Amino acid sequence: MTCADAQAELTAFLDGELTGDAAAAVNQHLSACPACARTGDALAAVSHLADAWQVQGADIQSAVLTQIALEDMASEMARLRAEVETLRAEVAALRRPVSAPGLLFPYAPPISAPLHIV
Amino acid sequence: MHEDDTLMQQAAAGEVRAFGRIVARHQIRLVRVAARLLSDPELAQDAAQEAFLRLWHMRHRYQPSGRLSALLLRITRNVCLDWAGRKETEEWTEEREAAQAHDDPAAQAEGGALADAVGRAVGSLPEPSRTVFILSHYEGQSYADIAAALDCPLGTVASRKRLAVEALRRKLAHWVEGENTK
Cβ–Cβ gap B118/A53 under 8 Å: yes
Tell me how crowded residue A91 is: count the other CB atoms within 10 A of its CB: 9
Q: Which residue is closest to A71 within chain B, CA to CA? A: B53
With a cut of 50, say whether residue A109 has pLDDT above it: yes
Select the residue of B31, B32, B172 nearest A46 (Cβ to Cβ).
B172
Question: Strands (DSSP E) along chain B, which ranges?
Answer: none
DSSP string covering B10-44, please?
HHHTT-HHHHHHHHHHHHHHHHHHHHHHHT-HHHH
Select the residue of B19, B27, B118 nearest A52 (Cβ to Cβ).
B118
B92-139: per-residue pLDDT in tens? 334 434 444 444 455 555 667 888 899 999 999 998 899 999 999 999
Mean pLDDT of all residues in A56-61:
92
Question: How far, in Å, CA of B2 to CA of B65, rounded?
Answer: 8
Question: How far, in Å, CA of A69 to CA of B108, rounded?
Answer: 44
Q: Which residues of A touch B (CB under 8 A)?
A: 8, 10-12, 15, 17, 42-43, 45-50, 52-61, 63-65, 67-69, 71
Mean pLDDT of all residues in B15-31:
95
A75-107: per-residue pLDDT in tens? 999 999 999 999 999 998 888 776 665 555 556
- B41 in contact with chain A, both atoms CB, cutoff 8 A: yes
Burial annotation B73-88 (CB, 10 A radius, 16+ → b, else e): bbbbbebbeebeeeee
Q: Which residue is closest to B46 within chain A, CA to CA? A: A60
With a cut of 60, say whether residue B89 has pLDDT above it: no
In this prediction, residue B83 has a pLDDT band, given cuts at 50, 70 and 90, of confident
Question: How far, in Å, CA of A37 to CA of A18, rounded?
Answer: 17
Mean pLDDT of all residues in B39-51:
92
A16-46: per-residue pLDDT in tens? 999 899 999 999 999 999 999 999 999 999 9
Question: Lowest mean pLDDT: which of A48-62, A84-98, B23-37, B39-53?
Answer: A84-98
Question: How far, in Å, CA of A116 to CA of A21, rounded?
Answer: 118
Question: How far, in Å, CA of A10 to CA of A40, rounded?
Answer: 7
- What integer pLDDT is reported at residue B128 of this predicted model? 86
Higher pLDDT, B157 or B88: B157
- B50 in contact with chain A, both atoms CB, cutoff 8 A: no
